[in-house]
């Protein structure tokens, strides 16, 4: 269709001008409406105002130059195509005005339907609808209600209240019992409410209605709930929304009309088939809001076979075209099917894996693409435990398993209470009749969400799935009474604070706390699945995709493990070595006393005795780990934390001394300890006597550890096993520190190893910014680097890692200084730059230098991609995150287009 033939910037696209790849410009909805239009599917004609127009409006507070004229031109073309004029008194063209950002933000932004209705055109609409006055007045009252609430901020409850009053005067609960006269009366009441709140009459000019509605959609981008949602979903704040102006089609014209939503496969399990909800004689928002109970889509076959068949064939076509699960909104107007929306549908973690596997089988995608279609966060979700059910637990209600997982917690009925209790550390289940966007805070705070109304596509279901949060929706046996803070179910009353358990996979609701059991995916990784489960579709899909990821990835994946048991578990999860064995954990329990002796030693002899007593213990620790890892590399880090961490706290010691003195007991040892604690006190222990500094200050300490490592390796090898120890020195900031430790260690190793064939590498952590910046020098003395990104983040930002997240990160997140804690996901620009510099300069000085990371970031999906990019050899993470790192390392290797699988 012709836009204005001028050189001005193009802000408006007809549906026939766009396509699915223009999501940045046209938003997801607009791009997909265009795609469907071009596929020849029945889409009501319309046009899209671009995200750029929204960005310009939000930046300047006014519509950009040229926009009004372009809208006018597209509107005129639409009017010509439809043979109607917007708001024409005799036969009005009506349009919906719908938001549509690049990423779906369900229910977050605004929609206004029936734009173009006024006191005259409502009569024309009734005539055109076959003298259907009821329909026309119902449409008009919906316009005033939506327009009032959305565009003019009239409180929604006032409209609800007026509707309730009319219904109760009529003695009914059902909107459908209201006749045309009732609805005409309601329009009058709504207009009064509108005038009272806005100080003006409801606008009668159709074009003014349109312009104000478009502006309101632009502004809804910055509504509080939208801002919150974006932060939660990590959607950039500056994208803006597109606005779709679409010819209205009506699902509420009578029993041969209706509206529905559908998925081309089950978004919960991934199973093939047709899934959806249908509501006869209703408009779209009735379904999504879960206001009336829908019927399963299959019912449509009975109600309107030809529309049903057409819908099925369109769904098959869309799946083939998008090569993925699609979700769809449609309306049937008097037996004619219209497609109102499609997009690649959101799905649960399990469905993502199962569908990716199916699509490979169906030849629609290849295995690289399948790998691209899933992610580590989903895999992590599948590793959550599930409820362990036996006869003691009987479900009191069954709703729809809307978002999987198992959650138990105290019942709360309001978002505010959910936030309050969660802040006190309680697990809560938010129970509502249905949720709406205002409940977002409570949903974030809750462990799970339970609603008594709404299907798989209700607000609660869609938002919970997006968050990966357990949700049961539409449990209609539950009678929720929010003001009384209770619900009743199966003759029992559940009050606020009582505990319930919900299963987001089966939809079952239990009273009390149900114990949990491990996930099948974890059992698969551990090799403990029984035969019956080995062949289930999810396990098969996970196996296939993980195998492909392992075949593709360049990064090796190691684990952080300090015990034989952890090492063994991590190996079952696929770890290819240990990237960090923290030896300080070996100084706890009954060994603490030896550390105390070491600290209190006055003479060399005393210190040597303590170290000599520790040596065999350490050797045994390392032997166990080497045996478990059976020749895979094991990086053992020499002791890192300040030694006073091993002593009792000052207050406790002071009390002990005082009490013992009071009793006349011998307090020499306690006094000595107390004096040592006082002497060793540090204002900033994380910047104090720790890491390599300990080794340089306390004679014999590192030597004992090095000897234990070397002796353990030799013992394992002499017993016929294999051992590949790598000794890692922590907190190095200058090459001289490392050289000093290295010289001593090399002597001991040479002495111990002899002709055993054991090879011991010596390397360092890079966790102090100075080390990163002098990596070229440090590499001269190191056979490997392992990035300690926890400390590197702490010292790079100057953030105390033990304090800041709880203290003030909320504010930083709120201000958008960062979108996620830099302790969770690597700060690419700052800390990441240090990693990059050190990797480059280290390798320049020593080609082939082995590079890894062992900070928490090693198991974070986004960070794994970064480490792949900068060319590390391996990541190391906690055992449970090893599968996630394997998957993401595979994804990083196949991901060449930088696209987002959100
Ligand atoms: C680090 O600093 O990233 C690291 C792995 O060491 P730790 O967490 O033990 O300080
Ligand atoms: Mg560290």
pLDDT in tens, 76-93: 999 999 999 999 999 999
Q: How far apart are CA 269 and CA 51, in angstroms?
A: 34
- pLDDT exceeds 50 at position 617: yes
Can you give the pLDDT at residue 1? Answer: 43
Is residue 363 left, alpha or beta, with left meaning phi > 0 and alpha meaning psi from -120 to 50?
A: left
Query: Which residue has a Cα nearest atom 1 of ligand 1?
Result: 788
Tell how strand 92-93 and strand 12-14 pair up.
unpaired
Q: What is the mean pLDDT of residues 576-605?
A: 88
How close is the Cα of 855 to the center of ligand 1, in Å?
A: 5
User: Quick check: 433 and 451 in contact, CB under 8 A?
Assistant: yes
Cα–Cα dist 204/142, whole Å: 15
Res 806: pLDDT: 60
**Nearest CA owner, ligand 1 atom 6:** 788
Measured from the Cα of 790, ligand 1's closest atom is: 3
Task: Choose one of 586, 788, 832 to mutate for the ligand 1 pocket test, by most ligand atoms within 8 angstroms of C-beta.
Answer: 788
**Averaged pLDDT for residues 351-363:** 96
Instruction: State yes or no: pLDDT of 355 exceeds 80.
Output: yes
**For residue 242, what are the CA distances in angstroms to 26, 348, 414?**
6, 27, 32
Cβ atoms of 835 and 826 within 8 Å: the answer is: yes
Q: Mapped to the 3 state alphabet, what secondary structure does 263-294 carry?
A: EEECCCCCCEEEEEEEEECCCHHHHHCCCCCC
Ligand in nearest proximity to the CA of 584: 1
With a CB cutoff of 8 Å and minimum separation 6, the contacts of 348 are: 267, 268, 269, 270, 403, 404, 465
Q: What is the DSSP letter of 642?
A: -
Nearest atom of ligand 1 to the alpha carbon of 560: 5
Residue 803 is predicted with a pLDDT of 75
Beta strands at 470-473 and 448-451: parallel, antiparallel or unpaired: parallel
Longest dimension (CA), the chain: 106
What is the Å distance from ligand 2's center to 568 Cα?
24
**Number of Cβ atoms within 10 Å of the Cβ of 700:** 18
- Confirm if 810 and 830 have CB atoms less than 8 A apart: no
Is there a contact between 725 and 761 (Cβ–Cβ < 8 Å)? yes
Highest mean pLDDT pick, 288-302, 470-484, 699-713:
699-713
Instruction: Say how many Å lie between the CA of residue 817 and the centre of ligand 2.
Output: 24
> Which residue, among 711, 709, 802, 700, has the nearest Cα to 754 in the 3D structure?
711
395 vs 154, 374, 497, 511, CA distance in Å? 42, 32, 19, 8
Residue 786 CA: nearest ligand 1 atom is 5
Distance CA 472, CA 658 (A): 57
Start-to-end CA distance of the chain, whole Å, equals 32
Q: Give pLDDT, residue 897.
A: 46
Residue 256: other Cβ atoms inside 10 A: 15
pLDDT more than 90, % of the chain: 71
787 Cα–ligand 1 center, Å: 9
Mark 337-374 as b/e (b = at least 16 C-beta within 10 Å): bbbbbbbbbbbbbbbbbbbbbbbbeeeebebbebbbbb
CB atoms inside a 10 Å sphere around CB 160: 12
CA of 528 to the centre of ligand 2 (A): 35
Average pLDDT score over residue span 205-211: 96
Task: Give residue 896's pLDDT.
Answer: 59
Among the atoms of ligand 1, which is closest to the Cα of residue 580? 5
Q: What is the CB < 6 Å shell around ligand 1?
A: 580, 582, 640, 767, 788-791, 854-855
CB 798 within 8 A of CB 861: no
Q: Which atom of ligand 1 is nearest to the CA of 788?
A: 3
With 70 as the cut, is the pLDDT of residue 816 above it? Answer: yes
Residue to mutate (ligand 1; options 586, 587, 639, 640; most atoms within 8 A of CB) = 640
Two tokens, residue 831:
């800390």
Tell me which residue has its CA closest to atom 10 in ligand 1: 791
Task: Measure the CA–CA gap between 360 and 442, rounded to whole angstroms.
Answer: 39
By the 10 Å C-beta count (0-12 exposed, 13-18 middle, 19+ buried), 668 is classed as exposed
From 586, 791, 793, 857, the mutation candidate for ligand 1 (largest count of ligand atoms within 8 A of CB) is 791
Question: pLDDT digits over 237-258, tens only?
Answer: 889 999 999 999 999 888 999 9
- Average pLDDT of the segment spanning 602-610: 88
Q: Are 540 and 357 in contact (CB under 8 A)?
A: yes
Q: For residue range 528-551, what is the model confidence (pLDDT) as tens digits?
A: 777 766 678 999 999 999 999 999
> At 6, is the pLDDT very low, low, confident or very high (cuts 50, 70, 90)?
low
Mean pLDDT across the stretch 295-321? 95
Contact, 169 vs 177, CB < 8 A? no
- pLDDT on residue 246: 97
Which of the pair, 436 or 429, is modelled with greater confidence? 429
Nearest CA to ligand 1 atom 4: 788
* Residue 391 pLDDT exceeds 70: no
Residue 302: its pLDDT value, please?
A: 95
Ligand with smallest separation from the Cα of 692 = 2
| Confidence tier at 468 by pLDDT (50, 70, 90) | low
Position 900 scores a pLDDT of 43
pLDDT in tens, 273-300: 889 999 998 887 666 555 567 899 999 9
Res 821 pLDDT > 90: no
Ligand nearest to the CA of 835: 1
CA angle 816, 822, 828 (to 5 degrees): 90
Proximal ligand: closest to the CA of 792: 1
Distance CA 384, CA 379 (A): 9
Which range (178-187, 450-459, 460-469, 750-759) has the least confidence? 460-469
The residues with which 344 forms a beta bridge, in sequence order, are 326
Rounded Cα gap, residues 82 and 91, in angstroms: 11
CB atoms within 10 A of CB 65: 11
User: 578 - beta bridge partners?
Assistant: 559, 634
pLDDT at 200: 95
CB-based contact 33:16 (threshold 8 Å): no
Average pLDDT over residues 410-419: 95
Please tell me the distance between residue 688's alpha carbon and the centre of ligand 2 in angstroms: 13
Q: What is the pLDDT of residue 901?
A: 40
| CB-based contact 349:382 (threshold 8 Å) | yes
CA-855 nearest atom, ligand 1: 3
Q: How far apart are CA 884 and CA 573, in angstroms?
A: 10
Q: What is the set of active-site residues?
A: 459, 854
Site to substitute for ligand 1 among 638, 765, 794, 881, most atoms within 8 A of C-beta: 765
User: How many A from CA of 791 to the centre of ligand 1?
Assistant: 6
Higher pLDDT pick, 518 / 430:
430
Give Cα separations from 405 to 100, 536, 587 (angstroms).
30, 18, 38
Question: Whose C-alpha lies nearest to ligand 1, atom 8?
Answer: 790
CA nearest neighbour of 831 among 807, 863, 861, 802: 863
Contact present, 457 and 448 (Cβ < 8 Å) = no
Instruction: Tell me what the pLDDT averaged over the chain comes to.
Output: 91
Region of poorest pLDDT, from 56-65, 169-178, 192-201: 169-178
8 A C-beta contact, residue 264 and residue 315: yes
Contact 672, 606 (CB under 8 A): no
- What gap in Å lies between CA 195 and CA 206, rounded to an integer? 18
Could you tell me the two tokens for 746?
A: 């090399």
Q: Which residues contact 399 (CB under 8 A, 6 or more apart)?
A: 450, 451, 452, 472, 473, 474, 475, 476, 478, 507, 509
Total Cβ atoms within 10 A of residue 496: 17
> Rounded to the nearest 5°, which phi and psi values hold at 134?
-60, -45
Long-range CB pairs of 667-675 (<8 Å, 24+ gap) are 672/600, 673/596, 673/600, 673/647, 673/648, 674/650
- DSSP, collapsed to helix, strand or coil, labels residue 297 as coil
Helix or strand holding residue 542 (H, E): helix 537-552
């Amino acid at each position: 269709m012709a836009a204005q033939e001028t050189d001005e910037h193009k802000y408006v696209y007809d549906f026939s001008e766009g396509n699915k790849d223009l999501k940045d410009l046209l938003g997801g909805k607009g791009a997909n409406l265009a795609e469907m239009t071009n596929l020849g599917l029945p889409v009501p004609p319309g046009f899209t105002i671009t995200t750029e127009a929204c960005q310009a409006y939000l930046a300047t507070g006014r519509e950009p130059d040229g926009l009004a004229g372009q809208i006018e031109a597209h509107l005129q073309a639409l009017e010509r195509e439809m043979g109607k004029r917007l708001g024409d008194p005799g036969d009005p063209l009506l349009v919906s005005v719908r938001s549509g950002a690049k990423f779906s933000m369900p229910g977050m932004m605004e929609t206004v339907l029936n734009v173009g209705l006024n006191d005259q055109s409502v009569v024309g609409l009734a005539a055109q609808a076959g003298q259907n006055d009821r329909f026309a007045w119902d449409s008009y009252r919906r316009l005033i209600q939506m327009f009032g609430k959305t565009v003019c901020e009239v409180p929604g409850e006032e409209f609800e209240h007026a509707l309730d009053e009319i219904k109760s005067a009529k003695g009914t609960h059902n909107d459908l019992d209201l006749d045309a006269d009732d609805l005409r009366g309601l329009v009058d009441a709504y207009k009064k409410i509108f005038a009272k709140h806005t100080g003006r009459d409801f606008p009668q000019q159709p074009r003014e209605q349109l312009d104000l509605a478009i502006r309101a959609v632009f502004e809804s981008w910055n509504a509080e709930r939208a801002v919150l949602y974006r932060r939660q979903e990590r959607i950039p704040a500056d994208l803006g929304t597109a606005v779709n102006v679409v010819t209205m089609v009506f699902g509420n014209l009578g029993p041969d009309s209706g509206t529905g939503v559908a998925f081309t496969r089950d978004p919960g399990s991934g199973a093939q088939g047709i899934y959806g909800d249908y509501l006869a004689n209703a408009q779209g928002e009735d379904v999504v809001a879960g206001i009336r109970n829908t019927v399963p889509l299959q019912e449509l076959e009975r109600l309107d076979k030809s529309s049903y068949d057409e819908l099925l064939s369109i769904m098959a076509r869309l799946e083939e075209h998008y090569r993925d699960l699609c979700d769809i909104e449609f309306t049937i107007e008097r037996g004619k099917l219209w497609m109102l929306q499609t997009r690649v549908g959101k799905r649960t973690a399990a469905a993502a894996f199962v569908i990716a596997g199916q699509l490979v089988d169906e030849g629609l995608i290849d295995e690289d693409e399948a790998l691209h279609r899933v992610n580590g966060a989903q895999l992590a979700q599948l590793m959550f435990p599930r409820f362990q059910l036996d006869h003691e637990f009987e479900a009191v209600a069954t709703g729809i398993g809307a978002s999987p997982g198992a959650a138990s917690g105290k019942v709360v009925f309001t978002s505010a209470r959910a936030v309050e209790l969660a802040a006190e550390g309680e697990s809560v289940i938010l129970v509502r009749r249905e949720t709406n966007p205002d409940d977002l805070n409570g949903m974030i705070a809750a462990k799970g969400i339970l609603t008594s109304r709404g299907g798989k596509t209700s607000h609660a279901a869609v938002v919970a799935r997006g968050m990966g949060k357990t949700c049961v929706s539409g449990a209609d046996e539950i009678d929720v009474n929010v003001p009384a803070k209770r619900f009743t179910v199966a003759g029992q009353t559940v009050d606020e604070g009582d505990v319930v358990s919900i299963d987001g996979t089966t939809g079952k609701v239990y009273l009390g706390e149900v114990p949990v059991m491990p996930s099948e995916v974890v059992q698969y990784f551990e090799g403990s699945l029984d035969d019956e489960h080995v062949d289930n579709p999810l396990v098969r899909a996970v196996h296939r995709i993980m195998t492909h990821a392992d075949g593709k990835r360049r990064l090796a994946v190691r684990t952080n493990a300090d015990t034989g048991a952890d090492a063994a578990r991590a190996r079952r999860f696929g770890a290819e070595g240990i990237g960090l064995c923290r030896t300080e954990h070996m100084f706890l329990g009954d060994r603490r006393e030896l550390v105390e002796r070491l600290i209190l030693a006055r003479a060399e002899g005393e210190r040597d005795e303590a170290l000599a007593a520790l040596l065999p213990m350490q050797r045994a620790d390392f032997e166990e780990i080497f045996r478990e890892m059976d020749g895979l590399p094991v990086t053992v880090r020499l002791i890192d934390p300040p030694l006073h961490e091993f002593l009792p706290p000052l207050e406790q010691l002071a009390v002990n001394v005082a009490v013992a003195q009071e009793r006349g007991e011998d307090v020499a040892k306690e006094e000595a300890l107390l004096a040592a604690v006082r002497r060793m006190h540090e204002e900033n222990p994380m910047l104090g006597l720790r890491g390599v500094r300990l080794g340089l200050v306390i004679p014999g300490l590192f030597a004992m550890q090095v000897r234990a490592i070397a002796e353990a390796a030799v013992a394992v090898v002499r017993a016929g096993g294999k051992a590949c120890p790598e000794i890692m020195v922590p907190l190095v900031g200058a090459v001289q520190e490392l050289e000093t430790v290295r010289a001593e260690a090399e002597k001991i190793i040479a002495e111990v190893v002899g002709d055993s064939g054991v090879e011991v590498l010596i390397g360092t952590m890079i966790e102090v910014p100075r080390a990163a910046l002098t990596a070229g020098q440090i590499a001269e003395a190191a056979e490997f680097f392992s990035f300690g990104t926890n400390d590197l983040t702490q010292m790079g930002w100057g953030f105390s890692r033990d304090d800041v997240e709880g203290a003030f990160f909320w504010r930083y997140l709120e201000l958008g200084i960062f979108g996620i804690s830099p302790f969770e996901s690597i700060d690419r620009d700052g800390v990441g730059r240090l990693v990059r510099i050190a990797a480059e300069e280290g390798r320049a000085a020593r080609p082939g230098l082995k590079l890894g990371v062992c900070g928490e970031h090693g198991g974070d999906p986004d960070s794994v991609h970064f480490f792949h990019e900068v060319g590390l050899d391996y990541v190391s993470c906690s055992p449970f995150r090893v599968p996630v790192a394997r998957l993401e390392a595979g994804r990083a290797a196949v991901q060449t287009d930088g696209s987002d699988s959100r």
